[in-house]
Amino acid sequence: MIFLRILFFIAIVFQVSCQEVKKESASPSSTAEKSTIKTEPQKTRLDTILDVFEQKPIYKARGFDFPIAKPNAKGYYNAQPFGTNNHLGEDWNAVTGGDSDLGDPIYATANGFVNFATDIGSGWGKIIRIWHTTVDGVVVESLYAHCDTILVEQGQYVFKGDTIGTIGNAGGIYLAHLHFEIRDDVLLPVGAGYATETEGYPDPTKFIKAHRQ
């Protein structure tokens, strides 16, 4: 029953995200571990996220790295930085260009908990969303989009640097690249990837550099 409650909570996040996308229109890694979090009906979503990590504090974030060519994205460049053309994330490409990075590994930017991992179509393709909480209780989410393959599952804990998927092109819509976001409002829907309002979306590179360890 306890495990069903946390899966129900994740399902709510999944449903809200998919509904938002409609409006705007693989095997687990070796460190796979599932949540058996105890939840209470009166708890808020944010409280429940914090409980996910209180259950297994080893998965609290202890530093952030870049999600490609860990830890420093060597051999990649940021083709569309945060804020350019109202971009809410970053588009990472291999310096060799074209589809040369198709199938390259994507890494978890920090220790965390996979709350969403599926193909949602609508220009996004396969996406992964991971909750992170720092040892001092700050909660953020990372989002990885246009994946070719997803190698994690909802409800799975991951460590920084675990391979969670591979770089894709959203089913051939784009040249291969990783669209990567950091959100400090972890209850946001998937969204559109672009907006003039950036509240809830810190600059990913600046965030990572400010939280290295």
Q: Examine the pLDDT at 154 and tell me if it is beyond 50.
A: yes
Per-residue pLDDT reduced to its tens digit, 177-189: 999 999 999 989 9
Helix (H, G, I), strand (E, B) or coil at 19: helix
Amino acid identity for residue 7 in this structure: L
Three-class HEC string of 51-118: HHHHHCHHHCECCCCCCCHHHHHCCEEEEECCCHHHECCEEEEECCCCCCCCCCEEECCCCEEEEEEE
Owner of token pair 């220009």: 123
For residue 10, pLDDT over 70 is answered with no
pLDDT digits (tens, 9 = 90+) for 70-105: 999 999 999 999 999 999 999 999 999 999 999 999
Mind listing the domains of the chain with CATH numbers? 2-210 (2.70.70.10)
What is the Cα–Cα distance from 53 to 80, expressed in whole angstroms? 33
Contacts of 46 (CB under 8 A, 6+ apart): 139, 186, 187
pTM attached to this predicted model: 0.81
Q: What is the pLDDT of residue 44?
A: 66
- The pLDDT tens digits of the residues spanning 98-126 come to 999 999 999 999 999 999 999 999 899 99
